[in-house]
Every structure is written in C-alpha cells, then in structure tokens.
Structure 1
Amino acid sequence: MRLYFKEVEIIDSNSSFHEQKVNILIEDGKIKDIHSTEETPKVDRIINVPNLKASTSWLDMKVFSGEPGEEYREDIESLSEALKYGGFGYALLMPNTNPVIQQKADIKSILAKNIGQLTQILPATAISKDCEGEEMNEMLDLHTAGARAFTDGANPMWNSDLLVKTLQYLQKFDGLLINFPQDRKLAMFGQMNEGITSTGMGLKGIPNVAEEIMIQRDLELLRYAGGKIHFSCISTAKSLNLIKSAKEGGLKVTCDVNIHHLILDDSLLESFNTNYKLLPPLRGKADQQALVNGVKDGVIDVIVSGHQPYDEDHKKMEFDLAAFGIMGTQILYPLYHKYLKDEIPLNIFLKCINENPKAILGVKQSAIEKGRIADLTFFTDSSWTFDQSTNKSKSNNSPFIGEQFDALPVALIANGQTFLSDLFN
C-alpha cells in the first residue's frame, strides 16, 4: 500500500526534518520519500488534513488488562484496539491479572499475541509471587523470557528487605524496578485524598505522606543497594521535590504521572462519581499544579494513562465499595490537547510519551528519515465525541464518556502494520 501524507509538521528531534512541514510517502511500511514539493505521486490514498503532525510512535508506560482471568473487563485484543486508536505503538502491561503474570509461559503467551500486530504489548512481570511482597520470583528466567520491567504493579513494594534484594539482583542484567509508592498502613481504608473535601464528605482520606514516606524509603534503599528505580504515578509536590533532589544527587531514578492527575483534583469527588476514584487519589489543586510544573521542568519523565478498565459491577455501587481505577489510553492525547496544551508545550508532552519511556524501557528509538522503517503516529485537530460508539475498550469507567474533544491520532504505522482511524473528520 502506498500512502501519501501531505503538509505534515514533523516533531522528532532525531530527524533532520524536525519542525519542518513536508510530504511523506509510505510504501509497504517504509518511508519511501520525504519532500516539500507540490508534485503528488501515484498512491493508493492521500491524507490531506489541516494541522497534521507526526512523531515517532508513542508508548503508554502503564496499562492494565483483565486477561487472563477477567477478560470481560478487558482482553489483550480490546486493549490493543484502544491503544491503536490512542496512537500507541507500544504499551507496558502491568502484571496484576488472575493469575498474576509471573511465569515464563505468561511472558511468552503475551509476546506470541504481538506477532503480526500493530501495537506491541510489552509485559512487565511481578517482582514477588502473586504481587504479595513475600517471596521473590525467578527474575533472571523472566528477563530471559522477555519481561521488560519488574513490578508488583498496582501493589506497592511494602517489604524493604525484598526491595533491597531486588535492586541488587536486577543489576546483574540492568533490569528496571518499578514501584507504586504508597505505605499500605497509612493508606488503609482510605477512599480519596485526605483533605477538606474528604472531611466534608465523611470519607477516610489517603494522606500525601503515605506516598512521600515510601519514596523517601525507596531512595535511601537505592543509595544503599544501587541499581535503578522508576516511581509509578506520583501525585504530590513533595514527592516531586524528593525525586528532583535524588536526580541531582546522581541516583538512577525516574518517574511518571497519570494524565488524570494533571487535569483533575479532589474537589470533583464531591459528586460521589466513582469514576474519579483512583490510586493514587486525585489530590488538591496545589499538588495538581505542581505536577504540571514537574512535567515542564523535566522532573517527571513520563506521562501515562494508567488505563485500568472496570465493568459497571465494580464501579456502580457505594463509593467506599467501588474499585479504584480509571481507563483512558485511547484519549490520552485528546485530554492533553483539550486541557494542557496551553501549559505544557507539545514537544515536552511528546517526549513524555515517546522518547523518555522508550529510553527507560530499552525500546529502540526510531527517527523520521527517508528509507527507514515507518514508526509513526500522525495526529491532528478534529472534533469528535468519546462515547459508547467510539470507545474501543470493553469498559467505560471514565468521567469523560460523552466528552467532546478537538484532537486525536489519525494514523499509526508501526511494526510493519498500518492503521487509519475512522474517527477523524
């Protein structure tokens, strides 16, 4: 297939065409030509839409699936579909399934599903058996099988001794430890951020210190044991300051933030809408703004969707009984464009969903150059509504169902496959 994308602004610091408007000819999954002439070659389809931009394909560094065990919430096929429409060529899958992803066969099964697929699911595997923090899994075998990172996913690494041993062991093959920082005892029975809103609602809160004390502990253990650590979904201003100081001190530490923590705050929970109930909880406005500044300043390396799909049986119930979690990998870029584009420059946002997560996970970086294998996400301004008909996930636990957006990815070409979205006008 020959595709011709006209008047495309390239945003790729590794490309000689960075910040230039060009025409791109794609033939059989390769970049056949890049030029700025008006002459249009003979092709199968021409894509000519206003404000079209392109970067190398994106990576969502935190997604969950229900497969295996709870495929009714999400399976690999529906997750891949949502990721594809979201513009992602890659995604890091958390191990919190039933059973937990912790065996070589689990890793090989996920990788086998990637064959011939556009979006590649990168499996993370559990550090501890069943993500319970008691007994270490066979990390070398899992690394050899293709595990991309080691984490207990939605469960924090509460066991300090196991954390130290993991940091030491992973240094044998430069493995990455990812921890969701939350002290289990301080967060116990908490339903939302501890603050004025939780007090007024009569709900037990999860204090900021539950996250910050875990980060302080992990950084001290990192100084002691060596290795590298990535903090998943940080949510407070003090967490940012701790990580900034650690980076300045030479520690190998990175972190990410959930897109929803950049645009939402805990006052929204006054509606008792369980779709705003997530972990870490939505914080106050001051923390929200600090996170936005952390992205702009480069302290936060990655922006993730935190895609955690749940069916209505897990969400449509009393607030204190509802599951924590929010889905949204399909709308990560539309959320940015609608709520953050005036605060966070586009090149910084793209770095947080492209170059940085690829570097952290050891995914090969590409570049938009003539003759290269195409690894491209095209995106533009276009009005559309995220509703039951356009949502590609099996679940709909998002407060943005029914929301009208003004931008979206229009094409994804990666891993030898081509996808043209049917959602843009």
Structure 2
Amino acid sequence: MTTVLKSVTIVDPKSAYHLQCVDIHLHGGVIGAIGENLPLPQEAQVIELPHANVSPGWFDTSVVLGEPGYEAAETITNGLKTAASSGFTEIMVQPLTLPVADNAAVLHLLHQKASGQATAIHPIGALTMGSAGQALAELYDMQQAGAVAFGDYKKGMKNANLFKIALQYVQDFNGRVLAYCEDDTLRGNGMVNEGITATRLGLKGIPSLAEELQVARNLFLLEYTGGALHIPTLSSAKSVALVREAKARGLNVTCSVAVAHLVLTDAVLENFDTRYKLSPPLRTAHDREALWEGLHDNTIDCITTDHHPVDIEYKKVEFDLAQEGSIGLESAWGTLAAVLPMELIVEKLTAGREILGLPPAVIAPGAAVNLTLFTTEGTGTFTTDQIHSTSKNAALLGLPTRGKVLGIARDKHIIVN
C-alpha cells in the first residue's frame, strides 16, 4: 500500500525540492513520486499533518541504551522507541554496556536486539579493552561486525602513545577514532565548571583547560599520524578555536556539541540540582556563544543529544556523589528550535552520516525512505509527560520549546506521534 505524506514542506538544501510544499508518496520502503497535488493512488494511506516539515532522517552520534547490563536505566527496545518518537531514524550507540562492547560478540547482540525497529543502530566499539585505556580492543573484528567508529565513552585517553597507535591502526580499514577530551589530572575531584558559579556555591571546579589541553594534544597526534578523528561534545570556547585552526590546516577532524551545552549554562547550578551534573560540565554564557558560532561557521559538524539514562538512585543523592548524565532524545528538537534556526538544526542533526561515510538520507524519487516529520509551530515547555525513556532524569525539564516532532518514516516503518 502507498502512504502519502500530504502537503509537507521539504527542508533539505541538497534536495531539488528544498522549502517546497509537496506530496510525497512512499511505497515498499522507497520514495515514489514527489510533487504538488499529486493524484492519490487507490487505497492510499494519507497522512496530513498541520504545518508539517519533512527532512532527511535525523542521526544522533551519541546515545547510551544501557542494555546489556544496565537495563534498569534503559533497554534497547524502549530506547529505540524513544529515539523514533523523538525524530531520530538512526543512532550511534555508545559502548557503555556490561560487558563493555569491546568485541564482535557484543555488537552482534546489539544488532540482534535492535532488529526490526523503526530506528536503526550503528554501534560504537570501545577503543580499548573494557574501556580501561590499557590495550586496544579488537577494532578490526568489531568493524567487520558493524562498528562505525571506536571510542571509550566519557573517558579521555591518558596514554598518548596508545592513542597514536590507534590513529595509525584504524587507517588500514578507514576507521575513525572518537576522542572524548578531558585530562583526569586537571579534572581531579571537580564536579562543575571552574568559575564564578562554582566558587560561590562551594563546588569543586573542572577547568576548561582539562578539555582544551587534551583537544590540543589529540590534534597534534592526528597531525603526526594522519587518519580520521572525531571529538564528541566540545564545551569550551578555546576548544572550538583549536578545532577551527586544525581544520584550517587540513586535518581530518570532526566534532559535535551536546544539546544541553547549547541551551544551558552553569548558572542553572544555583539549586544544586543533580540533573545538571553532566560530562563535560555546563560552562559559561561566553562558551555557549562560541559553540553557537562554531555551528554557524561549520567548525562544529553536528549536534548530539548525548542521551545517557541514569538510574534515579544515582541522581537522588548529594551533588558530589551523583552520577553524571542526562536523557536528551525527547527534548532535543523543541529546546533547540527555541534558540537556533530551523535549517541549521536540521543540517547539524543529519550530518553524522557524512562524517562516518554512511549512505546519505536523500529526498528524491527512487531513494530509500529515511525521513523525519516535524513542525516549528507553537511554543511550550518540556515537561515530564513528554518523557518516554525508562530513566526520567532530564536536564532540560522546564525549558521553553518551539514546535514538536511529528514522526518518522524509515524503510517500511512509519510512526506518527
């Protein structure tokens, strides 16, 4: 049966139909006709949503699903349903599992569990065994099992020589290394951004230097070895400047920023709410402005939700004992649309495929169905009733929103919220 997306505005600068209001026919997982007021096929399912926009399916470069090992925080099935209702047709899954996803067997399990879901997964293999930073994991075997990149979630690599070897080794099979940047010795026992807010509240600070020093080191190593490097969740103005300079020198480096760092600053810490304990920490308004600028000039390649469900027992404790992390899928579109232009958000939520060399999501007749439906109409607030994740720990609760996600279509799956 043919499904017709009726009177939708295409948001895709790479499409010949960019910003045109058209009908789109979907049949058997393929886009059929695209045009204005197309005749309806017999027995067609018509989906007509007010003020609907359609873009290439959104792609999230950093999602923790918990399973296997941390099912109390999130399961693969519910996590993928949450991603679908949040507008994401594909997600990269972090190796924060138990056992750690550092071998092909765990990746096969992830693919098996995710089979048949509307949202597809792309596993990230751990860069080191057990994500312990001591020895490289089975990178090539994991690449053959479907790993799209390699990194240790929220762990900076202390051993510069091991990191150098990793950058060299993955070039044999066009792999990409993910390098979370934070120097543990500079971080120390810090919990929040080092600055005026931390000092006033009496909380131990993490200097932005902890991030910047490792960004600089990793970029020097990349220049030495060649290869491809992705730096996730930049948070400081100086880090953005360092990546901008590296790109100007021709280095193959990409980077992302988390939604929370685009819409919040460390000023929200005044009430010691552990929802705001994140990694990297929320930084200053100056840093946030630099992140916005980095998006506009393409220094920052993509936006991630950095979705990390955390059990309530690890959040409802004293601030210094609380675990870092927050869910982010459900709140991504609405909170971003409240502060950034629509076309920029769509560009940055779909750029991950190009970074990884994956097939693009194309809006054209004959292309595979991979679409996100959304609107920019209406304003509101992100509230608990919008949370579908098992974990309810959300840093962006109470923030103003604009528009909403209407659904997704990928392959033969069509989900309308």
TM-score bracket, normalised by the shorter chain, equals over 0.9
Query: Is the counterpart of residue 395 in structure 1 residue 398 in structure 2?
Result: no
Distance in 2 (CA, whole Å) between partners of 1:42 and 1:180 is 52
Report if aligned partners of 1:3, 1:45 keep a CA contact under 8 Å in 2: yes
Aligned length in residues: 416
Distance in 2 (CA, whole Å) between partners of 1:107 and 1:370 is 33
Distance in 2 (CA, whole Å) between partners of 1:410 and 1:29 is 19
SS of match in other structure, 1:365? coil
Q: CA deviation at 1:382?
A: 5.1
Report if aligned partners of 2:361, 2:371 keep a CA contact under 8 Å in 1: no
Partner of 2:237: 237
Could you tell me which runs of 5 or more consecutive residues in structure 2 were left unpaired when the two chains were aligned. Answer: none
Q: Normalization by structure 2: what TM-score?
A: 0.96
SS of match in other structure, 2:224? helix
Partner of 2:53: 53
Distance in 2 (CA, whole Å) between partners of 1:413 and 1:147 is 24
Query: Is the counterpart of residue 347 in structure 1 residue 343 in structure 2?
Result: yes
Q: Which amino acid aligns with 2:394?
A: S
SS of match in other structure, 2:317? coil
Partner of 1:93: 93
Query: Is the counterpart of residue 37 in structure 1 residue 3 in structure 2?
Result: no
Query: Is the counterpart of residue 178 in structure 1 residue 178 in structure 2?
Result: yes
Report if aligned partners of 1:3, 1:44 keep a CA contact under 8 Å in 2: yes
Could you tell me which runs of 5 or more consecutive residues in structure 1 were left unpaired when the two chains were aligned. Answer: none
* Superposition CA RMSD, Å: 1.6
Q: Which amino acid aligns with 2:364?
A: E
Q: Percent identity?
A: 36
Partner of 1:296: 296
Report if aligned partners of 2:261, 2:282 keep a CA contact under 8 Å in 1: yes
Query: Is the counterpart of residue 202 in structure 1 residue 202 in structure 2?
Result: yes
SS of match in other structure, 1:6? strand
Q: 1:365 aligns with which of 356, 360, 363?
A: 360
Instruction: Please give the per-residue CA displacement for 1:168-187, whole angstroms capped at 9, x wherever unaligned.
Output: 00010110000110001101
Q: Which amino acid aligns with 1:325?
A: G
Partner of 1:64: 64
Instruction: Please give the per-residue CA displacement for 1:209-237, whole angstroms capped at 9, x wherever unaligned.
Output: 00000011001111111111111101111
Q: CA deviation at 1:2?
A: 3.1
Q: CA deviation at 1:43?
A: 4.5
Query: Is the counterpart of residue 379 in structure 1 residue 396 in structure 2?
Result: no
Give the direction of change, closer, same or farther, for the CA distance of 1:400–1:215 in structure 2 (3 Å limit).
Answer: closer
Correspondences of 1:242-391 after superposition (within 5 Å): 242-338=242-338, 340-341=339-340, 345-354=341-350, 356-380=351-375, 381=377, 386-391=382-387
Instruction: Please give the per-residue CA displacement for 1:193-219, whole angstroms capped at 9, x wherever unaligned.
Output: 000010011111000100000011001
Partner of 1:414: 410
Distance in 1 (CA, whole Å) between partners of 2:153 and 2:301 is 18
Q: CA deviation at 1:44?
A: 4.6
Report if aligned partners of 1:119, 1:415 keep a CA contact under 8 Å in 2: no
Distance in 1 (CA, whole Å) between partners of 2:255 and 2:3 is 37
Give the direction of change, closer, same or farther, for the CA distance of 1:346–1:168 in structure 2 (3 Å limit).
Answer: same
Instruction: Please give the per-residue CA displacement for 1:298-353, whole angstroms capped at 9, x wherever unaligned.
Output: 11001000101012101011000000111111221111112x13xxx322221111
Distance in 2 (CA, whole Å) between partners of 1:312 and 1:203 is 22
Q: Which amino acid aligns with 2:406?
A: V
Q: Normalization by structure 1: what TM-score?
A: 0.94
Q: Which amino acid aligns with 2:347?
A: K
Report if aligned partners of 1:84, 1:118 keep a CA contact under 8 Å in 2: yes
SS of match in other structure, 2:6? strand
Distance in 2 (CA, whole Å) between partners of 1:302 and 1:272 is 30
Distance in 2 (CA, whole Å) between partners of 1:190 and 1:50 is 48
SS of match in other structure, 1:326? coil
Distance in 1 (CA, whole Å) between partners of 2:235 and 2:127 is 23
Report if aligned partners of 1:180, 1:232 keep a CA contact under 8 Å in 2: yes
